[in-house]
Amino acid sequence: MSTPTILDKIKAYKLEEIAARKEARSQEAIDAAARSAPAVRNFSQALQSATFGGYGLIAEIKKASPSKGLIRADFDPPVLAQAYEAGGATCLSVLTDGPSFQGDDDYLVAARDAVSLPVLRKDFLYDPWQVAESRSLGADCILIIMASVSDAQALELEAAATEWGMDALIEIHNREELERAEQLKSPLLGINNRDLNTFVTDLNVTKDLSRRASEDRLLVSESGLSTPEDLADMAQYGARCFLIGESLMRQEDVTTATRRLLANPLVPQR
């Protein structure tokens, strides 16, 4: 038997967590909570609009990670959300996974309440029940990680997101996952530069996969991005939206750092 990867380990504890949460709240109860959540903010449209003349930034609220441990000790989600909004971020991503990222569902609720930006729930989803739970927290978009779900699960999660009026960010890291993602309808295609099992981060992943993705997808380059030069480099390959966590979380002045990152975007050649 092969050694379990980090994604295997995350999946194992998540399935236990989901079972416990479903035991505590039935489908009817979670659906009722989702129905009474604040109205959905349009995540994909916000990103699409930002790319006309600029970049779309999904700024991540991330306390810790399996690859880096603690990233930010001074961690106040509503304050960080407001700092990102003031710096010009288009959307937020909030990590809600506890065991690996020191995240919390309450962080998403508090961050979203503090701003008017659409919010991605950054977590590991396997079950449509979690999509309803994400909506009940106020999330506007969910993440579907192709490396950690089957084709059938991806379809089911996407259908649930559509049913709740939410967007889905489909995340891929290699050509095989890109091919599998083509069965999905979501316009948002996240290209993760980080291999989630080895933690190796390589911006060439965006360069390779962006050329192979169909033209109707809005590309989001994810992970390992820290400078305006990185963003311009990715934009040359057609990715004008970015998901950035660690490099911004490590800045004392998050607003200024965000503003600097987004200044002088590469203007697309006609």
Ligand X SMILES: O=C(O)c1ccccc1NCC(=O)[C@H](O)[C@H](O)COP(=O)(O)O
Site residues for ligand X per CB under 6 A:
6, 60, 62, 65-67, 192, 194, 196, 199, 222-225, 243-247
Nearer to ligand X (CB atom), residue 136 or residue 193: 193
Nearer to ligand X (CB atom), residue 194 or residue 260: 194
End-to-end CA distance of the chain: 53
Shortest distance, position 98 Cβ to ligand X, whole Å: 14
Shortest distance, position 119 Cβ to ligand X, whole Å: 15
Shortest distance, position 106 Cβ to ligand X, whole Å: 19
Surface-to-core class of residue 201, CB atoms within 10 Å of its CB (0-12 exposed, 13-18 middle, 19+ buried)? middle
Nearer to ligand X (CB atom), residue 6 or residue 40: 6
Nearest residue by C-beta to ligand X? 245
DSSP, collapsed to helix, strand or coil, labels residue 15 as: helix
Shortest distance, position 173 Cβ to ligand X, whole Å: 9
Nearer to ligand X (CB atom), residue 34 or residue 237: 237
DSSP letter assigned to residue 190: E
The contacts of residue 247 (CB under 8 Å, 6+ apart) are 225, 226, 257
Give the integer Cα–Cα distance in Å for 130 and 34. Answer: 11
Give DSSP secondary structure letters for 64-108: EETTTEE--SS--HHHHHHHHHHHT-SEEEEE--HHHH---HHHH
Structure tokens at 162: 């559509």
Nearer to ligand X (CB atom), residue 87 or residue 224: 224
Shortest distance, position 65 Cβ to ligand X, whole Å: 4
